[in-house]
A and B are shown apart, each in its own frame.
Chain A
């Protein structure tokens, strides 16, 4: 008679936990959650999200996960250190530590949002805190993409104290966890998970045994295009599996997104025009208040959201002098139309820049080279 492992009996107080702080990582978390479901897990699935995740994304996560928990974003406040690593986005992963606060569960398995589950991995719950697989690049450390832990407020506060006192050697959560659980490498071999539970460098020989794939590095599956013809290497196959999972029975999140879009970025809900317009209205209003309250036009320069609008400034100043002659009302309309053409608020500018940095460029519209050329011509003349 085979004795069932104890963990099987207490499935209700055990959970898989993941973390999504941005819209991109929500896509990853969604796929990870669905892959767990596909392989019939008997445990709960929990996702931690930050407040910056949009309601649409949150809604779609709720369809897959048993529980969606909002947490505060913790930044390691160590920007120079992080940018030295070339991974400025890593700081938020310290938010990961808050998974220790899920004390309603006895034991949890943390899976990064950039992982993909290929087989049932419920046997992970037979392991103890802190079990993890070695890091591919630095095998004396564990990789914090997959680990088993026991939620505890005590451990959580000790971790925070440790972080405050010692900092961490790479600025991310992996360095912190490794320095906190520093005896992992030597003490108990049963806490070493086999590499197939956190596979990052793909060897074709063991590729078919993989249980969890971890898409390490800066380029994630959601940055790459879905290409069914790529069947050359195991890595490409995993990539295609990721996309297949992403597309499987995906309920449309909201009415305005086209489900057949090729890039599959359903979560990239485009900025609503109403919001855009509101922001512009706000800006113009503040501008006009400033113009009417001040008698010296040059003071208004500081109000400009960013440099490079020299011509606009001159023109507005010119209009200011015209104000006494022509009806005020008329000028307001004029300024309003101008601002619609030329300006964005600082917030929108940042959002616009982030879109470029994600590789989403409106090259047929406002980002066309003609507009860039106008900026160049300002100093070329």
Chain B
């Protein structure tokens, strides 16, 4: 689902209309991944959200290739006859030789065409294909590794599909095949080995070995260059998978990763420097109303406050209006996701707030699914007590209202002392007594199965954050995904994020990091690290990230204790902001949305495809890079007229209404000007297309933006 944002604030200087003249008339794009129409992990989100943009670019020449999984096909795919005649012949021929290949439309935004291959149906060829794999590449696959066996089948089937398609085309086609992750990687290696006319791209979203090493609490980044990769992979019994991944990276025309940090990881673990970094984007939906996200924040915040009232019943000795909500969310990987650092920083923040006699209360939510057996009675009781108090207040109000009405009918001034009679007081007193509580408000909302060994709970016990009334930092651990049907906190994840003040994601290993990106699009500030793809990307594109609510923690060049102090100072700094300052910060955060939109980030993919075409078909395509320039300051040329969206919100009425009564001004025009100075404009480069069919003189120049020149040096690609 696209995340909504407001229409008004578009001031990113690099987002002018982009002339797309790279001639793709006779080119065909296949995008191949195990997670096409098959949700396993994060790659699904990447492909699903990107599809719309790619469809717009390639139209009917874009095909996603994935495995056929009956359950997801039934709910997500409409099976149809293949539209492309060459592809129809290909599929018919494959089906006639003992495969099961389906064609359809994937019912997501952009409704792209999908080719789905039933991998299990051709399992009878597994042994033959494994021998071929062995003979050509000396890679064997253990028969008990089911996933790797699927990768072999999928790889051979996709290579067969591409080869057959190339053979069925009337004129020699220009095929681009984009493979994601190691599970699809073998197809790429086979394409190269069979010398198919295919331009290949390989994208890793994380390296296999990196994931394993980080999970094993290794000092990963400091030893990156020293690992004996063969040994590490072999010791972890993933050598065959690692070989497939590394072979794909070696054979690809263009190799890409999702972030700069993963690029460094790939360079050391897969021994190839990525040619392009292709960050992951989001589909940003625009609201029609101004600053709608601020209203949504207020609504969601009110609902979280209600939950807090129930959760802390009997101990509500803090001012809810002066509370800020922090949260961390994601898969339950205690140290990889940085929950350890966050807890330690919270303990330090608690101390700082107490010694400074701060009025601010911090409530930190941990949304990380763990093994539980349902809600804990005490938390459910809290919500029930709150509901009961609400009902009591409503009853007394009814009776009060009736008496008032009667006295008005008689024409007398009401006697205030008689408005509440004895019975009312009894009800009220009873309700107040019901809220007494002997214990402290619970930390965990559920009954944990491994309560005594759970890392978060163990850590909380050690640092002593027990939600006592003297603590300025309270902790709530919700070990389950949020759902709008939950009896406890009936909100879905998006609503919850909107209601919080700050997302904290101090991850140690995070190839991209969708969570902080989602926060940004919703206008919620976040903390990330320079070890996460998102943090690297923002650091590179914004001059002063923390002014925009993007706090980037240095975990790469500092020790744990230093990083923890830095995080504590970020949190403390955030707590000291006034409400007004927080609102302005949210506005600024939200202005960064465009930077994360696929409309912008999709260009990195486009550049990867062009680069691959130019490498595979040097006679037809040509690719050139202009000299990259550096620095953040890229004033917008005066000749460029403001975009319509921009002019809409800069109307004088609006800024008066918003800012008159406040001391600190927030002026959209001024902010836009600041953005132009602070947000980095992507580089420009020129791509030239040489059509070999035409005479040499026909050269079409394309203005093309490619950022991140640290990875691509111009002299490398002189085609």
Contacts and interface: CB of A to CB of B under 8 A. Distances in A.
A357 B243 contact: no
A356 B247 contact: no
Contact of B124 (A84, A371, A372): A84
Contact of B138 (A359, A364, A367): A367
A219 B126 CA distance: 18
Interface string B114-138: 0000000001101100110011111
Interface stretch (A11-19, A101-109, A373-381): A373-381
Nearest to B250: A376
A352 to B, nearest CB: 8
Contacts of A83: 123-124, 126-127
Interface in A327-372: 349, 352-353, 355-359, 361, 363-364, 367-369, 371-372
B250 A364 contact: no
Contact of B243 (A306, A355, A369): A369
Given A223-B144, A357-B143, A361-B240, A375 B136 contact: yes
B234 interface: yes
Interface string B179-197: 0000000000100110100
Contact of B230 (A86, A308, A368): A368
A372 B229 CA distance: 14
A358 B229 CA distance: 21
B126 A379 contact: no
B438 interface: no
B192 to A, nearest CB: 6
A80 interface: yes
Contact of B142 (A357, A364, A371, A373): A357
Contacts of A189: none
Contact of B144 (A80, A218, A376, A380): A218
Contact of A307 (B136, B189, B192, B229): B136
Contacts of A223: 144
A353 B134 contact: yes
B325 interface: no
B352 interface: no
B140 A361 contact: yes
Given A218-B143, A361-B239, A363-B231, A372 B127 contact: no
A361 B234 contact: yes
A352 B131 CA distance: 12
A349 B137 CA distance: 12
Interface in B509-547: none
Contacts, number: 81
A373 B242 CA distance: 13
Contacts of A379: 192-193, 195
A380 B135 CA distance: 16
Contacts of B251: 376, 380
Nearest to A306: B135
A92 B141 CA distance: 22
A380 B191 CA distance: 11
Which of B124, B138, B246: most chain A Cβ within 10 A?
A: B138
B139 interface: yes
A295 B697 CA distance: 55
Interface in A155-187: none
Given A367-B138, A379-B193, A372 B247 contact: yes
Nearest to A354: B140
A88 B143 CA distance: 10
A372 B239 contact: no
Contacts of B247: 372, 376
Nearest to B242: A369
A116 B251 CA distance: 47
B233 interface: yes
B237 interface: yes
A373 B231 contact: no
Nearest to A84: B124
- Secondary structure class of chain A's binding surface, majority of residues: helix
Which of A80, A353, A369, A379: most chain B Cβ within 10 A?
A: A369
A246 to B, nearest CB: 19
Contacts of A86: 123
A372 B137 contact: yes
Interface string B594-605: 000000000000
Nearest to A232: B450
Interface residues of A, number: 32
Nearest to A88: B127
A375 B124 contact: no
Interface in A262-294: none
Contacts of A219: 144
Interface string B66-107: 000000000000000000000000000000000000000000
A355 B142 CA distance: 9
Given A219-B144, A369-B243, A380-B192, A363 B234 contact: yes
B234 A356 contact: no
A353 B126 CA distance: 14
A162 B247 CA distance: 49
Contacts of A376: 137, 189, 247, 250-251
A231 to B, nearest CB: 13
Contacts of A218: 143-144
Contacts of A359: 142, 144, 237
Interface string B160-194: 00000000000000000000000000000100110
Nearest to B232: A363
Contacts of A307: 135-136
A61 B655 CA distance: 89
A84 B123 CA distance: 6
B230 A371 contact: no
A375 B251 CA distance: 11
B138 to A, nearest CB: 6
A264 B661 CA distance: 78
B233 A373 contact: no
A380 B188 CA distance: 12
Contacts of A373: 250
A62 B234 CA distance: 35
A329 to B, nearest CB: 33
Nearest to A366: B138
A369 B195 CA distance: 22
B142 A358 contact: yes
B243 A372 contact: yes
Given A358-B142, A359-B142, A359-B237, A375 B230 contact: no
B701 to A, nearest CB: 32
Contacts of B192: 379-380
B246 A369 contact: yes
B446 to A, nearest CB: 20
Nearest to B195: A379
Contacts of A356: 134, 139-142, 240
A223 B144 CA distance: 9
A306 B135 CA distance: 7
Interface in A174-215: none
Nearest to B134: A353
A372 B139 contact: yes
A219 B143 CA distance: 9
A308 B144 CA distance: 27
A353 B135 CA distance: 9
A265 to B, nearest CB: 14
B140 A357 contact: yes
Contacts of A357: 130, 140-143
Contacts of B250: 373, 376, 380
28 contacts: A86-B123, A88-B127, A88-B143, A223-B144, A308-B135, A349-B134, A353-B131, A353-B140, A356-B134, A356-B140, A356-B141, A357-B142, A357-B143, A359-B142, A359-B237, A363-B230, A363-B231, A363-B233, A364-B231, A364-B234, A367-B239, A369-B230, A369-B246, A375-B136, A376-B189, A376-B250, A379-B192, A379-B195
Given A353-B130, A361-B140, A373-B250, 10 more contacts: A83-B126, A84-B123, A219-B144, A356-B142, A363-B230, A364-B234, A369-B230, A369-B246, A375-B137, A376-B137
- Which 9 pairs between the two chains have the least Cβ-Cβ distance? A356-B140, A363-B234, A359-B142, A353-B134, A379-B193, A363-B230, A353-B140, A363-B239, A218-B144
